[in-house]
Amino acid sequence: MHPALVPLDRLAILDGIAARSASDVLAYEAGWGLPPEEDRAAVHAILRGDPAA
């Protein structure tokens, strides 16, 4: 998977001994932080080697 397609809620930020999701730390709302679905589909197609991409 391309790093740009990893949502922030899948990343943790460590603060001392505690960990919080990056989306919480950065106050991102649902849907923020990822390219539009059409662009994500295009990246997936390129990574699969789809000649139509």
Contacts of 44 (CB under 8 A, 6+ apart): 5
Q: Which letter, b or e, does each residue of 5-30 get, where b requires 16 or more Cβ atoms within 10 Å of its Cβ? A: eeebeeeeeeeeeeeeebbeeeebee
pLDDT in tens, the chain (53 residues): 677 778 888 889 998 899 998 888 889 887 787 888 898 888 889 988 887 75
15 token code pair: 């603060």
**Structure confidence at residue 53 (pLDDT):** 58
Distance CA 25, CA 3 (A): 19
3-state secondary structure of 12: strand
